[in-house]
Amino acid sequence: MLSCRPRHVRSPNININRDPRWGRNQEVPSEDPLLNGEFGKLYTMGLQQGEDSRYTKVVVTLKHWDAYSLEDSDGFTRHNFDAKVSNFALMDTYWPAFRKAVMEGNAKGVMCSYNALNGRPTCTHPLLTKVLRDIWKFDGYVTSDTGAIEDIYAKHHYTANASAAVAAALRDGRCDMDSGAVYHDALLDAVNSGECSMDDVDRALYNTLKLRFELGLFDPIEDQPYWRINASSINTTYAQDLNMKITLESMILLQNHNNALPFKKGRKVAVIGPHINAQEALVGNYLGQLCPDDSFDCITSPLAAIEAINGMSNTVSAMGSGVLACTDASIQEAVNVAKDADYVVLLIGINDTIEAESNDRTSIDLPQCQHKLTAAIAHLNKTTAAVLINGGMLAIEQEKKQLPAIIEAGYPGFYGGAAIAKTIFGDNNHLGGKLPYTVYPADYIHKINMSDMEMTNSPGRSYRYYTGQPLWPFGFGLAYTTFSVQSPGPSASTFATGSNTSFSLPVHVVNTGKRTGDTVVQVYMAPVSLPHRSFSLKKQLIAFERVHLTPNQRLGVTIPLSADVFNMVDPVTGNVVSTPGSYRLVVSDGVAPTLRFSVSLHGDEVVVEKFPSV
């Protein structure tokens, strides 16, 4: 039997993918608040809820509150950065994911971040209590990120010393736990000096002990289903199959000119690029022990997976380049290997030497050596597919022009090599992933500072506010088949302001191609004409549904909605408002022709939720 302790995790990370340079974009779901919130909610429910409703199964910790998405840019580090954020951006972008995970997922933990927010370290900020506990009725615990309490006085210089930092965090931020040693070392001084009270200490103790009771840690072990787990229930065939299915679903086909993919098996395939033997790079950061010897040798590399499907005798390989370094000789070696091949697979991208916690990127382009490699391979005029291994987006403008096929794999996980190979050779019947972020051109980073935390400042951030032309838009992704998306329109199209009236949007999806595949129905809200208001919002995702269809299969999907999806955030006050005017429901799968339906709101403007005052 395996003892499950401590039944507490410091995840999920549901910060917004605000800027493509951020080193931790690999950890977060999306640039979209709804998508981040759904991820946070479902992650929370999956870990906390179990078959025995008496107990919480595992306590999650949502991170990082608040407005955290900078590691080391513009002369700042995450330890001393003061994020200047408007009420609008907090309500519109930075809070919605946490709200959904707390109010709908019942998350039991939140982590406050290293940075300051508008002059106050987040772990001392009254909004931490006002929003989480008073408004959202959060009843769990709050912990600091590791070392964040020390940062209050040592990096932000918000307080003069450690005891004052403890008092500010306990009293003002109601941060229950210090991930560090400052509470341990200075709490008694803070209480004895009167900077904080025993009531503050008791409240923090209550919040943390209560969770231990909810976990059942004070109850007899024999009464608890989660205290002991059979080893046979770990790494089951079902879990492995589910992992593989999810990985296959995550593959995103960005480009496939003239149906270059899938490749035919048994032909001569050259596998080229710095990630052909990737194992550790496939799984990204923050992971447990995957292989018995604590190495990554049990992970199948892309090259090994391609050889397994295509045959070793039909597969040749050469790296041609490292992630950052190459020589003319190494590139020529790759060209020599590829020149007699029928197909070429280019495994290119980045790794944790370029993007990681504490390490923002200074470029969103592919490293120059890899550009040289891909150009040399493209010059051979072979049928070539590039596979991207990366966390943050890559501005591959050159490769988009030169190569017929491109797959975005991300850091695809334990079964990433197999999923890549299956996708290349047409064995992925779940291909149909969609981009969770905008792919900007490479010069985007020269138009806005990394430390600018606003979403609407020119040229704008995310698909909701970006005014430029992306290389690929949020929500885009092809399949090896085609789809038709049709709808008669919403069940209602006129609503009173302030209403949360329910209505539905029936959508019919048809697989019009010759292969089985997936697509994702996406529904957006877009303001059209608001006579008394000016908003920067282009559109906002309000619902989505993934479907799996065989050739010629038709599937009806009913999307439940309510009139409050047309609520927006006042750019001046940060209040959530329902504004009269004309709107559109925009329906698409990111590829098929877009459907648009008009909706109107009538009446006076209604303030649905005021920005909290502290």
**Is 145 an active-site residue?**
yes
Q: pLDDT digit string (tens) for 351-399?
A: 999 999 999 999 999 999 999 999 999 999 999 999 999 999 999 999 9
pLDDT at 6: 62
Compute CA 591 distance to the chain's CA centroid, rounded to the nearest angstrom: 21
Q: pLDDT digit string (tens) for 247-283?
A: 999 999 999 999 999 999 999 999 999 999 999 999 9
Model confidence at 2: pLDDT above 70: no
Top pLDDT among 112 and 7 is at: 112
Model confidence at 5: pLDDT above 60: no
pLDDT tier, 229 (very low <50, low <70, confident <90, very high otherwise): confident
pLDDT at 19: 99
Name the active-site residue from 32, 66, 92, 145: 145
Give the list of residues 6+ apart from residue 365 with CB closer than 8 angstroms, or none.
371, 394, 395, 396, 442
Q: What is the model's pTM? A: 0.96
**First vs last C-alpha separation in the chain:** 50
Q: Would you give the DSSP letter of residue 610?
A: P
Q: pLDDT digit string (tens) for 166-183?
A: 999 999 999 999 999 999
Output the average pLDDT for the chain: 96
CATH 3.40.50.300 fits 2-229, yes or no: no
List the 606-609 sheet strands across, edge first.
568-569, 576-578, 606-609
Q: Could you tell me the residue ranges of all domains in the chain?
A: 2-229, 238-433, 483-609
Q: pLDDT digit string (tens) for 184-228?
A: 999 999 999 999 999 999 999 999 999 999 999 999 888 888 887
Model confidence at 1: pLDDT above 50: no
Q: pLDDT digit string (tens) for 86-99?
A: 999 999 999 999 99
Q: Looking at the domain that runs over 483-609, which CATH code has it been given?
A: 2.60.40.10
pLDDT at 504: 98
- Span 109-133, average pLDDT: 98
* 532: preceding bond cis by omega (within 30 degrees): no
Model confidence at 4: pLDDT above 60: no
Phi–psi pair at 511, nearest 5 degrees: -80, 105
pLDDT at 352: 96
- Span 470-496, average pLDDT: 97
> Are 503 and 612 spatial neighbours (Cβ–Cβ below 8 Å)?
no
Interatomic CA distance for residues 396 and 402, integer angstroms: 10
pLDDT tier, 3 (very low <50, low <70, confident <90, very high otherwise): very low
Interatomic CA distance for residues 55 and 23, integer angstroms: 36
- Span 44-63, average pLDDT: 95
pLDDT at 534: 81
Q: Looking at the domain that runs over 238-433, which CATH code has it been given?
A: 3.40.50.1700
Least confident interval from 287-291, 451-455, 483-487, 572-576: 287-291
pLDDT at 290: 87
pLDDT at 398: 98
Q: pLDDT digit string (tens) for 303-349?
A: 999 999 999 999 999 999 999 999 999 999 999 999 999 999 999 99
Closest by alpha carbon to 48, among 2, 3, 12, 1?
Answer: 12
Model confidence at 104: pLDDT above 60: yes
